[in-house]
Amino acid sequence: MPPPASRRQATSLKTRRRRSPAEAQLLVITGLSGSGKGTTLRALEDLGYYCVDHLPISLIPTFAELIARGGEEAQRAALVVDIREGEALEEFPALFERLRQRLPATLVFVEASDDALLRRFSETRRPHPLGGDLTVPEGIRRERSLLKPIRSAADILLDTTRFTPHELRRFVSERFAVRARRQPLLVSVVSFGYRYGLPPDADLVFDARCLPNPNFVPALKPLTGLHRRVSRYVLSFPQSREFVRRVGALVADLLPHYEREGKSYLTIAIGCTGGRHRSVTLAGAMARRLRSGGRRVKITHRDVHKAS
């Protein structure tokens, strides 16, 4: 049985130089195909890094100059350099040494065991990037040999053998978030009508069809939950206010857990029959509650303008 994630994390990172990765203005991610470079880059993007995948080596000095001269929004950047560069990789170690003389930079080499890489290639059914007549095992051996000089120059060796993608994102977030400007989780609150189907991107769904329906009040039927009269009517009932309170408390308790798992975007869907009255009012109340708690909130009323 593999060790717990906390123990895996403690043994999966080797820092070779004294500079903390949190001090780096530029992170260069490199390493073996299938080791998790893309997952690492996406985790850094969630932390607020400006990220570029597969930037040609010849353009790295220009990119670094832009980062060095950039404003607040460009103070932290990360890019991926890998075997797709071909023969140009031979130039990279010397180029990186010149680069770190111009701005704080850290080279992260991501790797995994042969068995782990073979399993990942088998699961994705993708050929090795070196292609040609090489089998996947031969491609892995060839890539290790080609990247050996870059690995020797790396500041950090990140071994992902025992990580799932989920655990790797969490680990990168914890390791590199010390001084990064992490973007807070964005909560999208969506109102919808069940007669038109569930929102396909919903993470949490709450059913408001149990609450009193303004559709049966002639004066309110033509209006929507965006109208103050409808909103007052829906929230005049204690069960509606209890709905907002209880669902709001549940969501508030869950959000920190989603953030720890590396999620940057969460969709909460609230539905009623037609998506015009109750769900619209309750989505608005939920959004206000979340904003008052300091959350970033986006609100969408998917079906509010559909005919009743």
Q: What is the DSSP letter of 80?
A: E
Greater confidence (170 vs 150) lies with 150
269 and 203 both lie in a single domain: yes
What DSSP letter does each residue of 189-220 carry, written as one string?
EEEEEGGG---TT-SEEEE-TTS--GGGSTTT
Q: Using pLDDT thresholds of 50, 70 and 90, give the confidence band for residue 67.
A: confident
How many domains, in total, are found in the chain?
Answer: 2
167 and 251 both lie in a single domain: no
The number of C-alpha atoms within 13 Å of 253 and in the hemisphere containing its C-beta is 6
Q: Give the span between the Cα atoms of 277 and 206, in whole angstroms.
A: 15
The order of strands in the sheet holding 204-207 is 204-207, 265-272, 186-193, 296-301
111 and 205 both lie in a single domain: no
Q: Give the span between the Cα atoms of 221 and 217, in whole angstroms.
A: 6
**3 state SS of 112:** coil
- Residue 308: inside a domain, yes or no? no
39 and 163 both lie in a single domain: yes
Counting every residue, how long is the chain?
308
Average pLDDT over residues 64-71: 73
172 and 197 both lie in a single domain: no
Share of the chain above pLDDT 90, in %: 41
Greater confidence (112 vs 71) lies with 112
Whether this prediction's pTM lies above 0.75 is answered by no
- Residue 233: inside a domain, yes or no? yes
CB 148 within 8 A of CB 23: no
Q: Which of 2, 4, 60, 74 is nearest to 29 (CA)?
A: 60
31 and 131 both lie in a single domain: yes
191 and 93 both lie in a single domain: no
- Residue 145: inside a domain, yes or no? yes
Question: Tokens in use for 22?
Answer: 């949190």
Per-residue pLDDT tens digits for 103-123: 888 899 999 999 889 988 888
Q: Of 176, 198, 221, which one is at a domain's C-terminal end? A: 176
Q: Which residues of 3-41 are buried (b: 16+ CB within 10 A; e: fewer)?
A: eebeebbeebeebeeeeebeebbbbbbbbbbbbbbbbbb
**3 state SS of 185:** coil
CB 218 within 8 A of CB 308: no
Per-residue pLDDT tens digits for 189-206: 999 999 999 998 899 999
- Residue 307: inside a domain, yes or no? no
166 and 262 both lie in a single domain: no
